[in-house]
């Protein structure tokens, strides 16, 4: 039986958009398997099925774009001309061990629309964005399915999926590369050589460090509001004295807009280690957590993580941490009168920063984001000052999960306490049953999935049958119990494998919004209030 049950044509600027309707009886897991490889190795891929469908039914008209839908839900939208190329390019199977990593270029963290990753010991980065970041350009030929990279006198061209390419006309071997969400992911060592970048790897922070070959031993930094020499020295990992001597400064006073030359690390200018300037060095002890250490030194978890380039809350006994001086920490200028920006499809943090005239670091800081966090289209972010945020609950204040939680406003506090990829425990208020979930995303509310099949069984026991009717629950995360409301209807995207349910569930905090109406839900709000009383 065909996976397509119908179609619709819409006239567009580049021909027709073909909307293919998928069989609603097909599960999302089945669709994912079809999308990647077909059910068996000899089966046709989704791309091949679409090409056959177009050739059979629309050979006499120009198809510019393909959209796949189930009911009113859009699953995929892609230029039809790209699909043949994608069909020949290796894809990455679900469940393959990919480790998300960071990339620094000339001491600045890069923020790509597709996360760089390590797989089988090789680091992959998005080809177009890394090329653009060093002043190069890429091009794509629809007819030959060839992609090209131009940077200075270097000209690389290769057919997507091919094992050979041409560099300045000479044949060269091409490493294996992949297509993920319409992005070509390529080994960083290979493209780094083409783009004349030195490539290093920092195992401690899981960071690829890229430096432009032959670049100046220093870079220019423009002083921003709230900057101090201590902050700048920490940002670029050089000492205050070295910045002062390089710029002939006789005091620690700097001005907004002032341009400073920041020396880069050389043999004669090593990174700060034992001499930590205006900071303390602390050795992690047994029983320590970031929350305990932050309280001990009157600082914050985020400040410790940022200072030490930590990408998670995990620390090890004996680990050396640099503790920022709280007297030099920037006050939190939270205000309700901040300039905001609504994220558009395809936006990256770098692109947004350029649009609004600020830095990517400010975007992350203003929205309490880690460098590896992603943005969602439709999300509203702050771009001029810290996003409004309440502080009604403290990490670490509760030692165990409870059946009663604190009412937290989703937009002013909740979205910064539970984030994408977090794993936490949910307790049902009425029964006391508990299960673990993983947050897959969400900006109007939290979208979660049960972590294992055993967690799914607990949910089935609670709801009896899958239903949109919510239950009062309490989230336990980082030593906090938060009042919430959980619907019992799996739907749409699915990211957690082997948990015996397809789709995700809606988890509301106070004042969370519905995707359908864009308004708070009266039913969810009642459950949140119930969870706050435990009755």
Closest CA to 329 of 310, 309, 303: 303
Same domain, 59 and 114: no
Confidence tier at 519 by pLDDT (50, 70, 90): confident
pLDDT of residue 386 exceeding 70: yes
Span between the terminal Cα atoms of the chain, in Å: 51
Is 291 a member of any domain?
yes
Say how far residue 444 (Cα) sits from the centre of its chain.
17
CATH of the domain at 298: 3.10.350.10
**What are 6-23's pLDDT values in tens digits?**
888 887 766 778 888 887
| Domain shared by 422 and 529, yes or no | yes
Tell me what the mean pLDDT of segment 89-105 comes to: 71
**259 and 316 share one domain:** no
Q: Look at 185-194, 358-367, 455-464 and tell me which has the smallest mean pLDDT.
A: 358-367
Q: Please state, in angstroms and rounded to a whole number, the distance separating the CA atoms of residues 179 and 78.
A: 13
Distances (CA, A) of 413 to 127, 342, 418, 510: 36, 19, 9, 10
Q: Where are the alpha helices (DSSP H) in 118-201?
A: 127-133, 188-194
In a domain, 126, yes or no: yes
How long is the chain? 535
Count of domains forming the chain = 6
Are 122 and 180 in a shared domain?
yes
Cβ atoms 499, 436 nearer than 8 A: no
Query: Distance between alpha carbon 426 and the CA centroid of its chain, in Å?
Result: 24
Residue 9 — φ and ψ, nearest 5°? -105, 135
Helix (H, G, I), strand (E, B) or coil at 353: helix
Q: Are residues 354 and 240 in the same domain?
A: no
Tokens of 420: 């994408």
Q: Is the pLDDT of residue 85 over 60?
A: no
Span 416-432, mean pLDDT?
93
Asked whether residue 405 is domain-assigned, the answer is no
pLDDT number for residue 74: 72
pLDDT band with cut points at 50, 70 and 90 for residue 220: confident
Q: Residue 467: which pLDDT band, with cuts at 50, 70 and 90?
A: very high
Number of alpha carbons in the 13 Å side-chain half-sphere of residue 49: 19
Residue 115 placed within a domain: yes
Joined tokens for residue 307: 């200072």
Q: Which two tokens stand for residue 278?
A: 């205006």
| Same domain for 316 and 258 | no
Most confidently predicted of 75-79, 155-159, 177-181, 483-487: 483-487
Asked if residue 463 has pLDDT above 90, the reply is yes
Mean pLDDT over residues 113-133, rounded?
Answer: 89
**Residue 388 domain-assigned (yes or no):** no
In a domain, 314, yes or no: yes
d(CA 397, CA 477): 11
pLDDT attached to residue 144: 62
Same domain for 323 and 344?
A: no
Residue 207 lies in a domain: yes
| Residue indicated by tokens 């984001």 | 369
Q: Does residue 403 form part of some domain?
A: no
Please, are residues 353 and 360 in contact by the beta-carbon 8 Å criterion?
A: yes
CA-to-CA distance for 456 and 221, rounded, in angstroms? 51
CA distance 352 to 105: 18
280: alpha, beta or left? (left if phi > 0; alpha if psi -120 to 50) = beta
Look up the domain containing 291 and give its range: 279-328
Other CB atoms within 10 Å distance of the CB of residue 108? 17
Percent of the chain surpassing pLDDT 70: 80
399, exposed or middle or buried, with CB in 10 Å at 0-12, 13-18, 19+? exposed
Query: Hey, what are 395's tokens?
Result: 């990490």
pLDDT classification of 465: cutoffs 50, 70, 90: very high
Question: Is 230 found in the same domain as 175?
Answer: no
How much is the pLDDT for 95? Answer: 47
- pLDDT at 331 > cutoff 50: no
Dihedral angle computed from the Cα positions of residues 376, 378, 379 and 382, in that order, rounded to the nearest 10 degrees: 120
pLDDT of residue 452: 95
Per-residue pLDDT tens for 152-197?
888 998 887 777 888 888 888 888 888 877 788 999 999 999 998 8
pLDDT, position 161: 76
Tell whether 482 and 374 lie within a shared domain: no
Question: Tokens 């270029």 belong to which residue?
Answer: 105
Q: Same domain for 138 and 175?
A: yes
Share of the chain above pLDDT 90, in %: 24
Rounded CA-CA distance 184/191 in Å is 12
The answer to whether 35 and 54 have CB atoms below 8 angstroms apart is: no
Distance (Å, rounded) from C-alpha 100 to C-alpha 120?
13
Nearest to 470 by CA among 457, 453, 483: 483
Whether the predicted pLDDT of 273 surpasses 80: no
Span of 97-101, 129-133, 527-531 with lowest mean pLDDT: 97-101
Kindly report the average pLDDT of the chain as a whole number: 79
- Between the CA of residue 65 and those of 9, 48, 76, 113, 495, what are the distances in Å? 10, 15, 10, 21, 26
> CA torsion sign, 98 to 102 to 104 to 109?
positive
Where do the H-state alpha helices sit in 46-145? 46-57, 80-88, 127-133
Q: Which range among 50-59, 118-127, 235-244, 272-281 has the greatest average pLDDT?
A: 118-127
Q: Rounded CA gap, 178 and 122, in Å?
A: 12
């Amino acid at each position: 039986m065909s996976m397509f049950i119908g179609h619709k044509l819409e006239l567009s600027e580049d021909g027709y958009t073909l909307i293919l309707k998928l069989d609603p009886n097909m599960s999302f897991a089945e669709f994912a398997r079809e999308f990647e490889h077909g059910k068996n190795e000899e089966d046709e891929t989704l791309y091949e099925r679409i090409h056959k469908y177009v050739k059979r039914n629309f050979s006499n008209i120009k198809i510019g774009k393909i959209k796949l839908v189930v009911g009113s839900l859009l699953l995929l939208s892609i230029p039809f001309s790209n699909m043949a190329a994608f069909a020949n390019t290796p894809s990455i199977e679900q469940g393959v061990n990919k480790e998300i990593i960071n990339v620094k270029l000339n001491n600045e963290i890069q923020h790509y629309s597709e996360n760089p990753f390590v797989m089988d010991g090789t680091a992959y980065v998005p080809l177009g964005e890394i090329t653009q970041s060093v002043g190069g350009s890429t091009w794509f030929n629809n007819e030959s399915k060839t992609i090209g990279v131009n940077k200075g006198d270097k000209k690389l061209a290769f057919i997507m999926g091919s094992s050979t390419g041409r560099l300045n006309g000479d044949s060269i071997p091409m490493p294996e590369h992949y297509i993920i969400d319409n992005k070509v992911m390529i080994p960083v060592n290979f493209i780094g050589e083409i783009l004349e970048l030195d490539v290093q790897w920092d195992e401690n922070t899981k960071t690829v460090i890229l430096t432009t070959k032959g670049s100046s031993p220093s870079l220019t930094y423009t002083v921003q509001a709230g900057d101090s020499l201590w902050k700048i020295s920490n940002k670029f990992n050089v000492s205050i004295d070295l910045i002062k001597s390089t710029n002939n400064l006789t005091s620690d006073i700097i001005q907004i807009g002032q341009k400073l030359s920041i020396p880069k690390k050389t043999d004669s200018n090593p990174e700060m280690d034992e001499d930590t300037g205006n900071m303390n060095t602390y050795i992690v002890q047994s029983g320590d957590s970031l929350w305990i250490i932050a309280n001990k030194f009157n600082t914050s978890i985020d400040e410790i993580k940022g200072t030490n380039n930590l990408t998670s809350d995990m620390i090890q006994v004996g680990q050396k941490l640099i503790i920022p001086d709280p007297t030099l920490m920037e006050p939190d200028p939270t205000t309700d009168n901040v300039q905001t920006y609504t994220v558009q499809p395809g936006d990256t943090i770098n692109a947004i920063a350029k649009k609004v005239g600020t830095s990517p670091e400010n975007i992350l800081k203003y929205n309490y984001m880690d460098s590896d966090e992603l943005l969602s289209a439709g999300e509203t972010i702050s771009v001029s000052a810290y996003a409004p945020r309440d502080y009604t609950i403290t990490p670490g204040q509760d030692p165990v999960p409870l059946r009663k939680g604190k009412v937290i406003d989703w937009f002013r506090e909740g979205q910064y306490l539970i984030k994408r990829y977090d794993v936490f425990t949910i307790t049902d208020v009425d029964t006391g049953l508990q299960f673990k979930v993983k947050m897959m995303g969400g900006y109007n509310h939290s979208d979660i999935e049960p972590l294992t099949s055993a967690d799914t069984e607990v949910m089935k026991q609670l709801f009896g049958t899958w239903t949109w009717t919510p239950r009062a629950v309490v989230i336990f995360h980082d030593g906090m119990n938060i009042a919430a409301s959980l619907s019992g209807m799996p739907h749409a995207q699915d990211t957690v494998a082997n948990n015996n349910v397809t789709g995700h569930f809606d988890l509301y905090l106070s004042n969370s919004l519905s995707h359908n109406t864009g308004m708070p839900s009266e039913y969810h709000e009642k459950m949140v209030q119930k969870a706050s009383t435990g009755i």
